[in-house]
Amino acid sequence: MLPDYHFHSDFSGDSNTPMRSQIEQAILLGMDSLCVTDHHDYDVDSPIDFTLDPDLYYQTMSGLREEYKDRIDLRIGIELGLQPHLTQYYSGLLKRYDFDYVIGSTHFINQKDAAYPEFFEGKREEEAYLQYFKATLENVRMKDAYDAAGHMDYIVRYGPNKAAFYSYGAYQDIIDEILKTVIENGNGIELNTAGYRKGIGQPNPSKDIIKRYRELGGEIITVGSDAHIPEDLGADFKTAKELLKHCGFSYYTEFRKRKPEFKPL
C-alpha cells in the first residue's frame, strides 16, 4: 500500500477523527509510512475555523511519532491554504517547525471559499474555474512556502456541473504555466484521489494534467486521499498507482525534512 500523504484529523476544522484512529487505520492497511497534513488556512473568513494551533499540533504529532515508531514511520506535514499576502507569515511558520512535508493548496480567493456555492455566484462556471487557476498560479510562485501543490484543479469538485464540461484542454495555457512554474521552482504536485469520491470520476488534478506534468519534466509527485475519516484513508490508491504508470511515472515521492525521496511504484 502506498503511503498516504494527504489526510486530516481533528486538528483540522472539518474533521472529527482522532489522529490515533487514522494511524491505526494506516497500519491495518499495511502502510509503512504516513504523513499527516492537517489544515492551516490563516487569515480567512469562514464559518469553519481552519486555523491550526501549530505548537500543540507539532508537539502532539512528535509524541505520536515516537509512540508509533516501531509500527509505522509517521511524518509530520501540514496543508497550508496559500495566499500571496502571507509570504512572510509562511516563512516564519516554516522556520519554527521541522515539518517533513508541506502541501500548498488554493482554497480561498478574495476571502471566498471555492468549495461553497457563494464563490460561483454571478460567474459563469468557466469564469470561476479560470479565476481559480489564476489564483493557483500566483500561489505556486511562492516556491519556499510549499513542497507540492495540492489538488491542483480542486475547484472542479464544487462547480455547478463539476467535471461535465471541464477539460485540461480548455485551460491549457494557464495550467501549463502553473506546471512550468512548479517544475522550475523545484516543487512538485500531488495526485489527490478524493475526486473519485466527490462525484467527478477523476483525481485532482485530472489524468491529462498529470500526464502533461510528466511531459514537461515534472518528477516530484505524492499520493494523497484527502481523507477526513479512517474509511477514506488510502482510498483508490490502486487506481492511482496504475494512473501514475500510465502517465509515465515509474516512482512516486515521499518527503522527509522537506526533501523528496523517490520510491519505485
SS (H, E, C) 136-153: HHHHHCCHHHCCEECCCC
* pLDDT tens sequence across 103-114: 999 999 988 899
Describe the chain by its helix, strand, coil percentages, rounded to 5: 40, 20, 40
DSSP state of 204: B
86-125 in b/e form (b: 16+ CB < 10 A) is beeebeebbeebebbbbbbbbbbbeebbbbeeebbeeeeb
**Where residue 150 sits, what CATH number does that domain have?**
3.20.20.140
Q: From CA 165, how far away is CA 149, in angstroms rounded?
A: 23
Residue 139: partners with Cβ closer than 8 Å, 6 or more residues away: 82, 83, 84, 104, 106, 149
Residue 89: partners with Cβ closer than 8 Å, 6 or more residues away: 42, 43
Q: What is the pLDDT along the chain (265 residues), one digit of tens a residue?
A: 999 999 999 999 999 999 999 999 999 999 999 999 999 999 998 889 999 999 999 999 999 999 999 999 999 999 999 999 999 999 999 999 999 999 999 999 988 899 999 999 999 999 999 999 999 999 999 999 999 999 999 999 999 999 999 999 999 999 999 999 999 999 999 999 999 999 999 999 999 999 999 999 999 999 999 999 999 999 999 999 999 999 999 999 999 999 999 999 9
133-166 in b/e form (b: 16+ CB < 10 A) is bebbbbbbbbeebbbbbbbbbbbbbbbeebbeeb
Overall number of domains in the chain: 1
For residue 202 the three cell numbers come to 477523476
pTM of whole model > 0.85? Answer: yes
Q: The domain containing residue 140 runs over which residues? A: 4-264
